[in-house]
Structure 1
Amino acid sequence: MLRTRRRESDRAYVALVDLLYTSLKTVSVIALASGAVGAIIAIRTGDPWMWVLAALATVIGVARCAKIFAYDLLVRPTPKTPQTAARWERWYEVGSYVFAGLLGIMVARALSFDDAYGHMLGVGMIMCYASGLAARTSVRPRISLITGGLLLAPFVIAALARLDPYYAAAAAFIGFYFFSYVEFVRFVYGTLRTSLDNREALERLTRTDPLTGLANRLALDEALAEDAASGQPASVLCFDLDRFKAVNDTMGHAAGDELLRQVAARVGGLVGPRDLLARQGGDEFVVLRRGPEDPRALGEAIVEALAHPFVLPGGRAEIGASVGIAAAPTPEAPARLLVAQADAALYTAKAEGRGRVCGWPPRSATRDEAPAETATAAA
């Protein structure tokens, strides 16, 4: 059995299952071929059981085609969770095992008769299917290998049971073929995994602040848009550091960079697992607070946490922070409007003496007033 060397990410898993359901043409062809080959062998041998096996294989094959078509129509165009992907993978897995087992039994049954033409047709059918199977199902190695075993093992057993050296040689050939089949599956799966992992790593880099390891502005914008579209309750907290420029000027930029990393670590310990902490640039940070919880408590916790001294390469530094808060926009409102409102509340907090938490609209403004940033975001 092929073992994966590292666990797949949820995103990679969903993508691989999606690829599994691109085999409609292959499954359609083998469904028709299995019925035709089974019927020819049944006619030549007069075996009623071969008719039954051919009919079952055709029915299962058509059912698999219908399932793949349903996936293409209903599931592929929509966002998928790992749970959804797992459910569809199980459907594919069961159908693949049953169909391959039926074909294997059909060929083994054909070998119980002295009909060389039937043997040739049966072996040709399973070899053609095995080749397509390896190419199409290598994205899920377990399914590919078990299906291949169910398809080929009955022929090997039936060929050896004939006690004929030529059939024994054919059985050995199939065994060697299965070894190359396993290696092919390993190669294809490994190549796909490497490609998907590299793509995910690149996407993480484009959405990550290199200094702090937090989400960057692009990742924040995407998260805001997703939350606005979902209509789930959320709020935004904008905060920046008081006296950050003084730290840079007196201790150097290396100390300033270390300060930003320590701020990210402190605030990161305060936010929830569903929340998103992002750095917009400079000493400006944003927290996307998901859920109906009051964001003011988190804002006050941030102010308190950042009021404690920081130990930096150039000595100790005491800074502080001011926080602005805004509630989630409606799905019709621009997602960036929320950040603009929180940013306006932040400037009000700083104007009132720093080290404060201020919500939008601030006490000095009415709900009909909008800051310049808000107007820009809405434009």
Structure 2
Amino acid sequence: MTGTPGAGRPHGIRSVLLTGVTGSLGSHTCAELLTHTAATVHCLVRADTQVAARTRAVRRLARLDDPPPHTGARLTALPADVTRPRLGLSGPEFDALAENAEVIVHFAAHIDLTAPYDVLAPSNVGGVQQLIALARRRIQLTGRPPVVHHMSTAGALLDARRLGLSTVDEHTRASEQTSGPLGYPRSKAAAEVAWTRAATELGLPVAIHRPAFVTGHSRTGRTFTSDLFIPLLWAATALGAAPAGCPGVPAERVDVVARAFVRLLDQDAPVPGTARAHHLAHPQPLSLDALFDALRRAGHALETVQPDEWWRRVTKHADDPGVAPLAALHGVGRYLVPVDDSHLPPGYDSSATWRTLAACGMEPIPFDDTFLDRLVTGLALPPPAT
């Protein structure tokens, strides 16, 4: 049995304050809210004017594979910056926003898998602190806390195996130790810690959502620049080689993540004073061997080599335009194609989340060869060698 878009339509959401609408997941989620709920979506957008903010949001939605049929008055946009005090708003504007922020959905983030923590923290941690200030102000003005849904990442638990955790699930707490040394996972773990503390101190109901590898649209296969499978498959094609014996990776299609998020937003409200997590990945890992087989079906000849030899070739050919993007991401790439146990990520259990989704009428859609072929076709790879 497979999931059907639109089945079990969410219906209870009335109003959402959304950050990150111009990003991939944020835009898909905004479209899902506008298409399958009656909610009004109030977007915070970096822009100089309200007109410019709405224009940016509408243009981003129009580029989606499944854009909302219309936006109208149910989509509003406010020029703001989550990294600035009071979100860059005047005192009266900030208070008005706080009074109306019944549900805060935070997607905005600085995504750079090569940047150090100090570069990412002002946005990824500082932005959370500004939204906590908004939540605190709402409580002062109305006596009611907002419901908070924060988009994190499975990377916040990337290094949990070093702590003896062979598998992580929705009950695993993120910390600097679970996230490891890389800047982006560390910043997202720090954001989770901040929300968890705020949940306790302010009585906030907080839900933390951890997608893993987010890849192309289930219907079209079309993906986006932050999809880590792009540099991996480009490098394999350029080298004419694929690494052997890679572990399966937790993954899900971007539209499925957005759909699951909205179901959970609507039908599984968190408890005040607590922060709980959802894992937004398919219950079965995606086989990298299956991805490489899709390359072969597309006509690319790939030799199979051991991971250490494959990384040696990546390093040797790091100046090749097809290899360079993955070579630049070698820190996180080593977790995707580990050479030894020192970079082996933990197993990623999403079964509790899928039990909740099943109760909402949503079931997982298999990763089949048809989808993987669509994904490979959409990567604009160089033509196969003849």
Q: Which has the higher strand share?
A: 2
**TM-score under structure 1 length normalisation:** 0.27
Q: Which has the higher helix share?
A: 1
Computing the radius of gyration from Cα coordinates, the structure with the larger value is: 1
- With CA pairs under 8 Å and 6+ residues apart, which has the higher RCO, 1 or 2? 2
